[in-house]
Chain A
Amino acid sequence: GEEVAQTPKHLVRGEGQKAKLYCAPIKGHSYVFWYQQVLKNEFKFLISFQNENVFDETGMPKERFSAKCLPNSPCSLEIQATKLEDSAVYFCASSQSRRGGRNQPQHFGDGTRLSIL
């Protein structure tokens, strides 16, 4: 598609439950990124993929968080044993490969608001 599609828009989980978020990148984009927005305006990088391979996972919490981008499937971000502090908006973005030596911007989805009760 022409837009990054994130589902669901809003996800509510009780503390300790699992949460799984999905992202369909723009068709033809090789790179996928996940960001977490906890406070109103602060974006925290979590992980990036180049096709189905993890490219950079330096922002991923060591425990409970995992992510995948499998061929012919939406990418996913999964949080095991959720905590109150996981409440945030999770944004997915995708970008094309460099063209003509030029960097390409990341295009964002509308986010999934995760509420942990």
Chain B
Amino acid sequence: DQQVKQNSPSLSVQEGRISILNCDYTNSMFDYFLWYKKYPAEGPTFLISISSIKDKNEDGRFTVFLNKSAKHLSLHIVPSQPGDSAVYFCAARENTNAGKSTFGDGTTLTVKP
């Protein structure tokens, strides 16, 4: 049973527009959520995170929104740039800093010039 799901395997957007990547989870014990970006042949790079006590966290062009009641989070990238083209992973953790992350299957974002 997959506890973190990214239902869109791919997303294509035009440069300058907004990219919205979605993630759903089922485990109500998750209370810390992260987004990672991954290029081929490299490890995931941490982008942004959000604690369950918040519903929004913003860092530059990246904003993560959390809807606890719907068990849904999303990553907004605005404006999108061609360099943002990568695989984006949503991850979730239970309330322990030493806890393992449970990952979604990723969404491949392509930003067209």
Contact = CB atoms under 8 A, between A and B. Distances in A.
Interface residues of B, number: 23
B51 A103 contact: yes
B106 A45 contact: no
Contact of B42 (A98, A105, A110): A110
Contacts of A31: 97-98
Interface string B89-106: 100010001111111011
Contacts of B49: 103, 105
Interface string B3-14: 000000000000
A111 B43 CA distance: 6
A108 B105 contact: no
B98 to A, nearest CB: 5
B77 interface: no
A41 B46 contact: no
Contacts of B34: 105-106
A111 to B, nearest CB: 6
A50 interface: yes
Contacts of A50: 98
Given A41-B105, A41-B106, A103-B51, A109 B98 contact: no
Interface of B: 32, 34, 36, 41-46, 49, 51, 87, 89, 93, 97-103, 105-106
* In the A-B complex, the 5 residue pairs with the closest CB atoms: A108-B43, A45-B100, A41-B106, A98-B97, A43-B103
19 contacts: A6-B43, A33-B101, A41-B87, A41-B89, A42-B103, A45-B102, A48-B99, A50-B98, A56-B99, A93-B43, A102-B51, A103-B93, A103-B97, A105-B34, A105-B49, A108-B44, A108-B45, A108-B46, A110-B43
